[in-house]
Amino acid sequence: MSDNILEIKDLSVGFNIEINNIEKFFYALNSINLSFERNKIHALAGESGCGKSVLINTVLKLLPKNSQIKSGKIFFNNQNILELKDREFRKIRGNKISLIPQDPFMSLNPLYTIENQMAEVFLDNSKDNIEKIKWALNEVRIKNIDNVLKSYPHELSGGMKQRVIIAMSLVQNSELILADEPTTALDVSVSNSILDLLLDLKNKGKTIILITHDLSIVSNYCDTVSIMYMGDIVENANTRVLFKNPMHPYTKALLNALPTKRGKRLENIKGQISPITDVIAGCKFHPRCNYVKDICKIKKPSLCCYNENNVSCWLYQNISL
């Protein structure tokens, strides 16, 4: 029996955008179906602007005012969280589900010391709380704990702030951690130590969805990977399978664009991802695809299972117009 902590079914989300004084609706996510097995690190990958943050902000119910959820269900531990009232969902967000943002400064209050903001998690003022906070800071390998507790966020480095945020998710005992490009703002050695901490969290039984545009991170840290392109899941598979046998032309292009061991990229992906206001018929990748066929420009392929990959591409499907 599968043990999915999170299941996304037929999720479509978009934004009302004003163009020439006329407000129109544009999709940012198109009928997304994804399952996330418990106690794994799952990657959500793709170029900037493909809908990764919109997807996790929908799970966190943190979408901006001009957004609309057009369809779908999101089951967290078998409960459809989209049906929950905001008051009920607040018991889940920040407790059972937590976020590690790209910019840790955004989720730390600049006016509170680290100790005060970590203590906010608790409803009571028990003496055990500070012990739990110190335990969590120790778990994320912070050495000078007493100094850090007295510090304000601006006094800490970016890597240290990310450690504090990860420690907060430990204090909260979150089951699911959504990490939105958590290392993009950090240099390589700090970035690796934060990613190692995510592996530690997995070993403690947590489930992590790691958003990244960097496939080299995926190969080193993630169990599964879903590749997104303009609001669609175009391929997903076990990480080992995807790296050994990438099937979608976009996945292949992303892998070809990775720097080699000598630091050289094999090939850049031609063209650019379009804004959501460019409505592209058929397969959204077709303007950039080297294998494009006539059908690709008019009919969208569905996500189908081939061998061990799920792929959405006409190269692998019987054409029926």
Ligand X SMILES: Nc1ncnc2c1ncn2[C@@H]1O[C@H](COP(=O)(O)OP(=O)(O)O)[C@@H](O)[C@H]1O
Residue with Cβ nearer ligand SF4 (260 or 320): 320
State the nearest-atom distance from the C-beta of 67 to ligand X, in Å. 6
Stretch that binds ligand X, among 4-12, 48-56, 154-162, 238-246 (CB under 6 A): 48-56
Q: Which of 55, 92, 170, 296 binds ligand SF4 (CB under 6 A)?
A: 296
| The only residue of 23, 25, 48, 131 in contact with ligand X, by rule CB under 6 A | 48
> Which amino acid is present at 136?
A
Q: Which does 145 bind (CB under 5 to 8 A by kind): ligand SF4, ligand X, Mg ion, none?
A: none
The stretch near ligand X (CB under 6 A) out of 43-51, 78-86, 248-256, 304-312 is 43-51
Which of 52/202 has CB closer to ligand X?
52
The residue within the footprint of ligand X, chosen from 126, 275, 279, 293 (CB under 6 A), is 275
Q: Give the full edge-to-edge strand order of the sheet including 22-37.
A: 22-37, 4-19, 67-76, 79-80
Q: Which residues, including other chains, have CB under 8 Å from residue 144's CB and lie 6 or more apart?
A: none
Stretch 164-193 residues interacting with Mg ion (CB under 5 A): none
Cα separation, 179 vs 163, in Å, equals 12
Binding mask 228-257 for ligand SF4 (x = CB under 6 A): --------------------xx--------
Cβ(133)–Cβ(171) below 8 Å: yes
30, 31, 53, 309: which one contacts Mg ion (CB under 5 A)?
A: 53
Exposed, middle or buried by CB within 10 Å (0-12, 13-18, 19+), for 260? exposed
The number of beta carbons lying within 10 Å of the beta carbon of residue 242 is 27
SS3 135: helix
**For residue 296, which of 308, 309, 313 has the smallest C-alpha distance?**
313
Task: Pick between residue 62 and residue 304 the one whose CB is nearest to ligand SF4.
Answer: 304
User: What does 151-198 look like in DSSP terms, one character per residue?
Assistant: --GGGS-HHHHHHHHHHHHHHTT-SEEEEESTTTTS-HHHHHHHHHHH
Q: Which is nearer to ligand SF4, 36 or 314 (CB)?
A: 314
Looking only at the bridges linking them, the beta strands covering 22-37 and 4-19 are antiparallel
| Segment lying near ligand SF4 (by CB under 6 A), choices 8-16, 124-132, 191-199, 283-291 | 283-291
CB of 29 to Mg ion, least distance (A): 13
The residue from 285, 303, 309, 310 that contacts ligand SF4 (CB under 6 A) is 285
Alpha helices by DSSP H, listed for the chain, are 52-59, 86-89, 114-119, 127-139, 145-150, 158-171, 188-203, 215-221, 239-244, 249-256
Q: Does 269 bind ligand X (CB under 6 A)?
A: no
Alpha-carbon distance of 159 to 140, in angstroms, equals 11
Of 41-49, 88-96, 267-275, 289-297: span binding ligand SF4 (CB under 6 A)? 289-297
Nearer to ligand X, 66 or 79 (CB): 66
**Residues at the contact surface with ligand SF4, assessed by CB under 6 A:** 248-249, 283, 285-286, 289, 291-293, 296, 301, 313-315
